[in-house]
Amino acid sequence: LRYGFPQTMAAGLAGGNGKNGKPVLQYTYQFTVDNNSFVKNKTPMFDILRGKYDGTFRRLARDIKNYGKPVLFRLNNEMNTDWTSYCGLVTLLDPDIFVMTWRRLYDIFEAEGVDNCIWIWNPSGVSCPYSSWGEDLCYFPGTEYVQMLGLTEYEMGNGETLTSFREHYQTLYEKNVSFQSYCAIISEFGCGSGGETDGVLGRNAAKQAEWVREMFAEINAAEKAAYIKQIKGAVWFNCNDYSNGLITNRLKIVNADGYMGEDYGDLRETIEAFRQGLNYSRG
């Protein structure tokens, strides 16, 4: 909540409108004051309801309006969990608080004349913990406040066998039967190659590459399945999960910034699977 919209960065990394050859921006905005740390002790949700951040929200709205290009605006993703600063666990087990804060921000954008946002409602694929107050539909703010469905399902890649892209997203499509008329975006996803806390780092690199090839076989099929037709975009989460300095889920496939000296040369087969799949899609 401290930071405004990064207009210069957005223009440099995206700046697209769907026709000018540049990427369309997906922008994730979260109601948190501490990056979802110590979630059980602090949440801004009640101050938001009191109007404390209305000025911040108005500045955000004006900045996005001035950006002038379409923004896939993903607000408060993975709300149906226990690790975000806006989940039901920290709002009296009352998902209506989530709904009211969503609508408050949406109404401010409307009042500021923002017309370049596509609002993405993006629960986690599996609610955690499962409960009557924590299931994703409890957090849906209403059809007039959402234009796109966000999908999030990971294959962490640490097991002996990997659940395929098709099984993950076909299952999610069937779960989201109420939203099959919506366009969808996989706002974040990935398949890991095996973390070091569960065994040898990268032990499933070949399986990861096969997972990616199977994914593109689904995406590029001549006769596409219904769940594929709904999906209009996908964002690979090129980042690892860590615990005590060790990689638990190795989802990263390239290391352009040299972070921690990590080497991803063993994932050339995965990169090649992406190259071939994307070239086929574009061709």
What per-residue confidence (pLDDT) applies to 41? 64
Q: At 259, phi and psi to the nearest 5? A: -60, 125
Total-model pTM = 0.95
Q: Which two tokens stand for residue 119?
A: 């609002």
Whole-angstrom CA distances from 108 to 60, 82, 105, 200, 270 are 10, 28, 5, 50, 43
Q: Which two tokens stand for residue 74?
A: 């993903």
Number of H-type helices and E-type strands within the chain: 8, 8
Q: Which two tokens stand for residue 235?
A: 């964002």
- 57, 4 contact by CB (below 8 A): no
Amino acid present at 113: G
- 242, 180 contact by CB (below 8 A): no
What per-residue confidence (pLDDT) applies to 3? 67
pLDDT tens, residue order, the chain (283 aa): 566 899 999 999 999 998 899 999 999 999 998 888 755 568 999 999 999 999 999 999 999 999 999 999 999 999 999 999 999 989 999 999 999 999 999 999 999 999 999 999 999 999 998 899 999 999 999 999 999 999 999 999 999 999 999 999 999 999 999 999 999 999 999 999 999 999 999 999 999 999 999 999 999 999 999 999 999 999 999 999 999 999 999 999 999 777 777 889 999 999 999 999 999 887 7
What per-residue confidence (pLDDT) applies to 158? 98
What per-residue confidence (pLDDT) applies to 38? 57
